[in-house]
C-alpha cells in the first residue's frame, strides 16, 4: 500500500533535514554552471562543506546546448583532463581542438560534484549577500518561483566562510555587492561588463581574472570576465573548467 501523505512527509522531512545542514557552510556558490560545479567538486574533495544555489530548475548553466543548440562543446588540450577525470569521452580532432558531448559533460560534472558531497539546491536565487564587518559572510536567497512571480516575500540567509559568484554572464552577486557594499577589486571598482567574442583572449583571461574581488567574495567562470571587462568566448569551455579549479585552490588556501 502506498500512502500519499507518507510520500509528502518523506519529501518534506528529507528536504528540510538537508537544508538545515546547509544554513552555515564553508563555501556557498551561486550558480551551477560548469565553473561552479568544478569549483564545488574540488572544494568538497578538499574537505570543505559546499552548497550551490541554482536559480533554474536544471543545473548545468550554459553547457547543455553546446553551440547554438548543437550539443557539442569544444575544449583545449590543457583542460581535456578536467572532462576525462569525471568520465566524459573526449574526441581529439588532431588539430589542437577536442570535442565532447555537451549533455554527457553536464551530466558527469553534476554527478561528480554531488558524489564529492556538494549539495545543490535548485530553483533558488541568490539575490543579496550577508555583509558584516566589511566582508561578505554569506548569501541571501529566495525561491526562484517567488522571484519570477515578483511576489513581495522576504528572503532568508545562509552563512558561509567563502562565497563564490559563479552566475556566468550575469555576475549577479558581484553586481549587488558593488551596489550595496562597496568597491570591487577591479580597475573601476565595479563590474566593468563583458566584451564581445574573442575566445583566444577570453579563455586566458577567465583564468587570470578568477580571484577574490571583495573580502569574502570570489569569482569564477564567465562571471570573472564580466566583472573584469574581458571578452566572452562562446562554446569553448576549457577556461570555465580551469577557472573553477583555480577558484577552489584560492578559496582552499584562504580557508586554511
Ligand atoms: O552561465 P553559466 O554556464 O556560467 P559559467 O559556469 O559558464 C559559462 C558558459 O556556460 C558559457 C560561456 C563559456 O563557454 O560563455 O556561457 O561561467 O552558469 C551560471 C549559472 O548560474 C545561474 C544560472 O541559472 C546558471 O545555471 N544563476 C545566474 N544568476 C543566479 C544563478 C543567481 N542570482 N542565483 C543563483 N543562480
Mutating to test ligand 1, I would choose from 167, 197, 245 the residue with most ligand atoms within 8 A of its C-beta, which is 167
Cross-strand pairs, 163: 28, 217
Band of residue 106 on the pLDDT scale cut at 50, 70, 90: very high
What is the pLDDT confidence band of residue 29, given thresholds at 50, 70 and 90? very high
Strand blocks (E) in 93-155: 97-101, 119-122, 124-132, 135-143
- Edge to edge, the sheet with strand 97-101 lists 72-76, 97-101, 90-92
Phi, psi of 142 (to 5 degrees): -140, 160
Confidence of residue 249 (pLDDT cuts 50, 70, 90): very high
Please tell me the pTM assigned to this model: 0.98
- CATH number for position 117: 3.50.50.60
C-beta of 202 in contact with ligand 1 (< 6 A): no
Q: Which domain holds residue 130?
A: 4-255
- What average pLDDT does the segment 199-221 reach? 98
Q: In whole angstroms, what is the distance from residue 75 CA to residue 45 CA?
A: 23
**DSSP code string of 3-33:** -HHHHHHHHHHHHHHHHHTTSEEEEEEE--S
- When divided into structural domains, the chain yields a total of 1
User: Is the shortest distance between the CB of 168 and ligand 1 below 6 Å?
Assistant: yes
Establish whether residue 158 lines the binding site of ligand 1, counting it when its CB lies within 6 angstroms of any ligand atom.
no
Q: Answer whether 244 contacts ligand 1 (Cβ < 6 A).
A: no
- CB-facing half-sphere around the CA of 173: CA atoms within 13 A: 37
Distance between CA atoms of 154 and 147, rounded to whole angstroms? 10
Ligand 1 touching residue 164 (CB < 6 A): no
How far is ligand 1, taken at its centre, from the CA of residue 255, in Å? 24
Q: What's the distance, CA 235 to chain centroid?
A: 17
The CA angle 219-220-225, to the nearest 5 degrees, is 85
Q: Which pLDDT belongs to residue 112?
A: 98
Q: 167 CB less than 6 Å from ligand 1? A: yes
* CA neighbor of 104 nearest in space, from 91, 118, 87: 87
pLDDT of residue 241: 98
Residue 123 grid coordinates = 530553483
Ligand 1 center to 96 CA (angstroms): 26
pLDDT for 92 equals 98
- For residue 251, the tally of other CB atoms under 10 A from its CB is 26
pLDDT band at 80 (very low <50, low <70, confident <90, very high): very high
Q: How confident is the model at residue 12 (pLDDT cuts 50, 70, 90)?
A: very high
Atom of ligand 1 nearest to the CA of 236: 14
pLDDT of residue 191: 98
Amino acid at each position: 500500500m502506498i500512502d500519499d501523505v507518507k510520500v509528502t512527509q518523506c519529501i518534506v522531512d528529507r528536504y528540510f533535514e538537508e537544508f538545515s545542514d546547509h544554513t552555515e557552510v564553508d563555501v556557498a556558490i551561486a550558480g551551477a554552471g560548469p565553473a561552479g560545479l568544478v569549483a564545488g567538486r574540488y572544494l568538497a574533495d578538499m574537505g570543505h562543506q559546499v552548497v550551490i544555489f541554482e536559480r533554474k530548475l536544471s543545473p548545468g548553466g550554459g553547457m547543455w546546448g553546446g553551440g547554438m543548440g548543437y550539443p557539442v562543446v569544444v575544449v583545449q588540450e590543457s583542460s581535456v583532463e578536467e572532462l576525462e577525470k569525471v568520465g566524459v569521452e573526449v574526441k581529439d580532432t588532431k588539430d589542437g581542438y577536442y570535442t565532447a558531448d555537451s549533455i554527457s559533460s553536464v551530466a558527469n560534472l553534476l554527478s561528480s560534484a554531488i558524489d564529492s558531497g556538494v549539495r545543490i539546491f535548485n530553483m533558488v536565487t541568490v539575490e543579496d549577500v550577508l555583509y558584516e564587518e566589511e566582508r561578505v559572510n554569506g548569501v541571501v536567497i529566495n525561491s526562484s518561483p517567488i522571484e519570477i512571480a515578483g511576489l513581495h516575500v522576504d528572503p532568508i540567509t545562509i552563512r558561509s566562510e567563502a562565497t563564490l559568484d559563479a552566475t556566468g554572464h550575469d555576475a549577479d552577486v558581484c553586481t549587488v555587492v558593488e551596489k550595496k557594499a562597496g568597491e570591487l577589486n577591479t580597475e573601476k571598482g565595479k563590474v566593468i561588463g563583458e566584451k564581445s567574442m574573442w575566445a583566444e583572449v577570453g579563455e586566458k583571461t577567465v583564468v587570470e581574472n578568477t580571484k577574490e574581488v571583495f573580502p569574502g567574495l570570489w569569482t569564477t567562470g564567465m562571471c570573472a570576465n564580466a566583472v573584469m571587462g574581458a571578452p566572452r568566448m562562446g562554446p569553448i569551455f576549457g577556461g570555465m573548467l580551469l577557472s573553477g579549479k583555480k577558484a577552489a585552490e584560492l578559496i582552499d588556501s584562504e580557508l586554511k
